[in-house]
Amino acid sequence: MTEQTEDIISALTGTALRVFVYALKKGKDIGVRETHRNLGLKTASHAQYHLQRLEQLGLLGRAKNNKYFLEEEYEKLRSLKIGILTEIYVFRGWLIPSLGIASGFVAMSLVITILFFFLISETVAVSFAIAVMFLAMLFTGYRATQIIGSFKQKEE
């Protein structure tokens, strides 16, 4: 995916972003009425406007039966950057925020720490908690480095 394409996707907001994410989740042809119903848009023409807009941006294509589909380079899209701090991973029609993965990891680690505390020993629980905090700090540093790197790339 080109840098220009990443800029286009990151510039999407509101309904256009919802329509694009819907197309990603669906993974197959989508129609105007279907998009209108499933996203709860005001009118079918509202859905058509956003589908046509995404087509003009080169994110969607239109088949002869007036159904819209993801362009080839987006069919296998595995992650989507929305804004500065939000990155979403696409996995089999599921959209999973990267920070959601991190917070899920920390929450599950808390549960495991509590179990260790009551079932094994305090020392094991504290050691596990320290290891989890270390991993969480590594992940946070890695994400911060990515964000700072993206700012530097845009400046150049």
Reported as a pLDDT band with limits 50, 70 and 90, residue 148 is confident
Q: In whole angstroms, what is the distance from residue 149 CA to residue 109 CA?
A: 30
- Residue 139 or residue 89, greater confidence: 139
Same domain, 71 and 128: no
Domain that holds residue 138: 98-155
- Which of 6-15, 38-47, 52-61 bottoms out in mean pLDDT, i.e. has the lowest? 6-15
| pLDDT over threshold 80, residue 1 | no
29 contact partners, CB below 8 Å, separation of at least 6: 63, 65, 67, 68, 69
pTM score over 0.75: no
Of 77, 111, 134, which residue sits at a domain end?
77
108 contact partners, CB below 8 Å, separation of at least 6: none
CATH of the domain at 27: 1.10.10.10
pLDDT of the residue at 49: 86
